[in-house]
Amino acid sequence: MGLVTGYLFFLISSLPVTVPDATDNCVHLMTGDTLYATSFSGERANWYYALPVRWAYDNMIPGGEPMGLGVDTLRYRLFPLSSGVSYISLIPGEEALLPSPGVFYLTADPPSELLADTVAAVEPLHLQYPDCVIQVVSRPSDDYTGYLFEMINAPFLMTPRLTVGGNHQADCRLGCDCAGLAVYGARRMGLDIPYAGPLGIVRYLTSVVPGEFLPDSSIDPVVYISGYGDSVPVGSGGLVPGDIVHFGTQVSVFLEDKGVIGTLDPEDMLIQSWFDGPHVCAIRDCGFYHLPLRVFRWSASE
Q: Tell me: the pLDDT tens digits for 183-210?
A: 999 999 999 999 999 999 999 999 999 9
**pLDDT of residue 110 exceeding 90:** no
Name the residue with higher pLDDT: 69 or 291.
291
For the chain, the domain total comes to 2
| Confidence tier at 132 by pLDDT (50, 70, 90) | confident
- C-beta separation of 36 from 11 below 8 A: yes
Please give the average per-residue pLDDT across 10-15, as a whole number: 45
Q: Is the domain of 100 the same as that of 36?
A: yes
Provide the mean pLDDT of the chain: 85
Q: Is the pLDDT at 31 greater than 90, yes or no? A: no
Residue 225 lies in a domain: yes
Q: Does some domain include residue 171?
A: no
Residues 130 and 228 in one domain: no
SS3 at position 125: helix
Q: 62: pLDDT confidence band, cut at 50, 70 and 90?
A: low
The β-bridge partners of 263 are: 233
Using pLDDT thresholds of 50, 70 and 90, give the confidence band for residue 41: low
pLDDT-based confidence at residue 166 (cuts at 50, 70, 90): confident
Least confident of 69-73, 124-128, 176-180, 218-222: 69-73
Q: Taking the CA atoms of the chain, what radius of gyration do you get in angstroms?
A: 21
The pLDDT score that the predictor gives to residue 20 is 34
9 with 127, same domain: the answer is yes
Q: Determine the average pLDDT of the residues in 168-192.
A: 95
- pLDDT mean over 267-274: 97
**What is the reported pLDDT for 92?**
76
Q: Given this model, what pLDDT does residue 61 score? A: 62
Residue 99 preceded by cis peptide, ω within 30: no
Looking at the structure, tell me whether residues 89 and 39 fall in a common domain: yes
Could you tell me if 152 and 17 lie in one domain? yes
Pair (239, 123) in one structural domain? no
Please give the Cα distance from 70 to 63 (Å, whole number): 5
186 part of a folded domain: no
Among the candidates 100, 126, 160, a domain finishes at 160
- pLDDT score for 99: 72
Q: Is the pLDDT of residue 89 over 50?
A: yes
For residue 208, the enclosing domain spans: 202-298
What value does the mean pLDDT take over residues 58-78? 64
Domain shared by 142 and 37, yes or no: yes
SS3 sequence of 87-102: EEEECCCCCCCCCCCE
List residues bridging with 56 in a β-sheet.
156
Biggest distance spanned by C-alpha atoms of the chain: 70
- Between residues 89 and 246, which one has the greater pLDDT? 246
Assess if residue 168 is contained within a domain. no
- Per-residue pLDDT at 301: 52
pTM for this predicted structure:
0.89
Contact at 8 Å (CB) between 264 and 223?
A: yes
Pair 144, 255 in one domain: no
b/e code 109-136 from CB counts within 10 Å (16+ = b) = ebeeebeeeebebebbbbbbbbebbbbb
Q: How far apart are CA 276 and CA 228, in angstroms?
A: 35
